[in-house]
Amino acid sequence: MNKIFILLGTNLGERLQQLAKARKKLEQQVGIILQESSIYETAAWGVEDQPAFLNQVILISSPLSAFECLNLTQQIELDLGRIRLKKWGERAIDIDLLYFNDEIINDPNLTIPHPFISERRFTLEPLAEIAPTYIHPVYKKNNVSLLYNCKDELPVKKISNDESYRH
């Protein structure tokens, strides 16, 4: 079985519901969720003039290949209302493959590990929560070290699932 770390993000609509729907579809179509980070509210990265995101990292165990996972996650995004208008723009759901086992994949359609892991605090905070000692296969550093050295200063705040956040 393959171990896949996935980042979920949303900044449109009922954000907690969007994350829950994404987790459910991933479990139905991709594999078993082994771990879930807390949910974090984060400032938008890249294009900053937009609503704040909710982000979460999950670890899935799956028999599928990295490319099968990519195809399914992109379909789940579409099913949940993802419309790609502008790079790093607002979205109902975003599903990014962060790590796939300890593989390195450089393909025009898929780069594993995700190329921006070390630059994004909103990715590293939840990733370090559930996999602090996991070693990035390219940088040869664990997630806590990557977080410590991350230059991204945008705010990332852990929230509890029972708080209502609307933007």
Annotated catalytic residues are: 82, 91, 94, 96
Q: Please, which residues have CB within 8 angstroms of residue 132's CB and are 6 or more apart in sequence?
A: 142, 143, 144
Q: Distance between alpha carbon 54 and the CA centroid of its chain, in Å?
A: 10
| Cβ–Cβ < 8 Å for 5, 57 | yes
| Cβ–Cβ < 8 Å for 50, 89 | yes
| Cβ–Cβ < 8 Å for 91, 124 | no
Angle of the 15-29 helix axis to the 66-79 helix axis, nearest 10: 140
Alpha-carbon Rg for the chain in angstroms: 15
Cα–Cα dist 9/58, whole Å: 11
Task: State the first-to-last Cα distance of the chain, in angstroms, to the nearest integer.
Answer: 39
